[in-house]
Structure 1
Amino acid sequence: MSIVVTGASGQLGRLAVEALLDRGVSASDIVATGRDIDRIKEFADRGVVVRRADFADPDGLTAAFEGADKLLLVSTTTVDERVANHRRAIDAAVAAGASLVAYTSMSHADTATTILASTHRATEEYLRARGVPSVLLRNSWYLENYMDQLPLVLRNEAVVGAAGQGRISAAARADYAEAAAVVLTTEGHVGAVYELGGDEAFTLTGLATAISAVAGRQISYTDLPADEFARALTDAGLPADLAHVLADADLGMSRDELFTGSGDLSRLIGRPTTSLADAVAAALR
């Protein structure tokens, strides 16, 4: 059995390879792919098969996926190129004869109204159109998206966003990676749609409260109109297009589009998900 993981040089893909190894999958049965294989050399040193895969190169994808029994398609990051990239990857998986494609989608991709959700919905639709045996891993937000902002939050003594009091079922990347590894190494997942998220949802006001409790300082939440939040992100150095997408994602949060009470994630991994308090404590340690 050969399990191919795309984006193994990225944060989620790298963790997925580690999770497969932790579950006892032989290194020689894992194919870690990435555009820059120098960034995943450590996997090759551990016996994992490493192949170059550029989503803009269909022939290269076909070669990278050769012999794949199962494929973890980690969604790509460039939003305006995502759907075309994913279609080429799905075509390559079909050519390889893969028995399962596990796709890291987004919460409520079929109904959510954000820019990000539309790209995931288009990918899900293409999987169905191609008749690929698949499982949808609809991930909510990553806790790390907020933990990476902690230095700025502490400096300004404020969490800033446009999510209102919407609930966010964020979980750690490692939790999502472990769920992917479970799906890839156990049976009965073809056709499943998993709404994955943390056991305890929180609002951005709750995030500020959690940071306050650990940091021992009063952190507030400042809720901005989406356009003002986008300007704040560009002022912080983000490209305007990305700032617009992230502000739009916050609007989706305000509509609970990143909330799930399914419990799918903790059931798959067989343990509670990483809590917000633990994530903040680890980040500030």
Structure 2
Amino acid sequence: MTLSLGVTGATGAVGTETVRLLVKEGHTPRLIVRDASRAPELPDSRVAPVAGGYLDTEGMRTAFEGLDAVFLVSAGESPDRVAEHRSAVDAAVAAGVRHLVYLSFLSAAEHATFTFARDHWATEEYIKASGLDFTFLRPSLYQDLLPRLVQDGEIRGPAGQGRCAWVARTDVAAVAAAVLPRADHHRGRRYDVTGPQPLSLAQTAEMMGARYVPETVEEAYASRARYGAPDWEVAGWVTSYEAIATGEMDIVSPTVQRATGYPATSLQQFLNSLG
């Protein structure tokens, strides 16, 4: 049976690439976005703008009408993130969506070290309780964000000797595009989505032509105070490093290979692609 598919967050990196791959495979996904003018222009795709975003439950319900399976790309980090997700889930239930494929996070848990991973756990629990069929994709930290971590030739943070199998966002999108049209075959499953090799921050920095400078947790908070970001955001930054130190990110999964037929992108391959 051919499913009617929807993708939220279709103007972001993962959402856009997921839609592109779905169209390439002959699907006609509905793109659920805030701003239709920013939606990718692809043949056989349909755009459903929801100006109020995830918190606009009624607008989301209308956008979801008639869809069988939806790729729910997680909202941007904010104090209201879980509330946004719950609103989108409620809209999916009201619209009669059967299956949500949710973009979660590796090692999401109630007491995860990484504070944002706790938001993903809360969302997973809400989806489980909703009665919807579900599949959770749990990616590692993105390779694509690594260049932002380099400041003055250094990466600083309290990651210790811990390791992370950084994953390419294109690989995450490829897994989503493989799972969504066959959602019934992935009912109730949770997939870790990682790169092929766990690397320490020292190894990561060296590959990027930089140097890793370990910080204590206290030093990490102090060094980031100059950005003037809210406390919840700074905590997210710092605890992402702490989660590496605890081993919560030291996971390598074969999901990319199994879902797509090709190996996960290595960090070196990603860096080479930057030129």
TM-score relative to the length of structure 2: 0.91
Q: Which amino acid aligns with 1:145?
A: L
Picking from 39, 46, 51, the partner of 1:49 is 46
Q: Deviations over 1:67-101 (max 9, x none)?
A: 11110000111331111111111111112222210
CA shift, 1:133, in A, is 0.3
Structure 1 residue 176 and structure 2 residue 172: aligned? yes
- Contact 1:107/1:139 (<8 A) preserved: yes
**Structure 1 residues 237 and 178, CA, compared in 2 at 3 Å: closer, same or farther?**
farther
CA shift, 1:196, in A, is 1.2
**Structure 1 residues 239 and 14, CA, compared in 2 at 3 Å: closer, same or farther?**
farther
Fraction of identical pairs, as percent: 33
Structure 1 residue 262 and structure 2 residue 253: aligned? yes
Give, in whole Å, the separation in 2 of the partners of 1:172 and 1:233: 26
Partner of 1:13: 15
**Structure 1 residues 148 and 282, CA, compared in 2 at 3 Å: closer, same or farther?**
farther
Structure 2 residues not aligned, in runs of 5+: none
Picking from 233, 240, 247, the partner of 1:242 is 233
Q: Which amino acid aligns with 2:91?
A: A
Picking from 209, 224, 227, the partner of 2:215 is 224
CA shift, 1:227, in A, is 3.3
**Structure 1 residues 41 and 194, CA, compared in 2 at 3 Å: closer, same or farther?**
closer
**Structure 1 residues 221 and 80, CA, compared in 2 at 3 Å: closer, same or farther?**
same
Give, in whole Å, the separation in 2 of the partners of 1:40 and 1:149: 28
Q: Superposed, which structure 2 residues align to 1:15-164 within 5 Å?
A: 15-25=17-27, 29-40=28-39, 42-43=41-42, 46-53=43-50, 54-110=53-109, 112-150=112-150, 152=151, 156-164=152-160
Calculate the aligned-residue CA RMSD, in Å. 1.8
**Structure 1 residues 23 and 238, CA, compared in 2 at 3 Å: closer, same or farther?**
farther
Structure 1 residues not aligned, in runs of 5+: 213-218
- Contact 2:115/2:235 (<8 A) preserved: no
Partner of 1:211: 208
TM-score relative to the length of structure 1: 0.88
CA shift, 1:276, in A, is 0.7
Query: Partner of 1:124: helix, strand, or coil?
Result: helix
Query: Partner of 2:264: helix, strand, or coil?
Result: coil
Q: Deviations over 1:125-154 (max 9, x none)?
A: 11111121000101111001103445x3xx
Higher mean alpha-carbon deviation, 184-193 vs 63-72, is at 184-193
Partner of 1:215: none
- Contact 1:79/1:119 (<8 A) preserved: no
Give, in whole Å, the separation in 1 of the partners of 2:238 and 2:93: 36
- Contact 2:55/2:88 (<8 A) preserved: no
Tell me how many residue pairs correspond in the alignment.
Answer: 269
CA shift, 1:113, in A, is 3.1
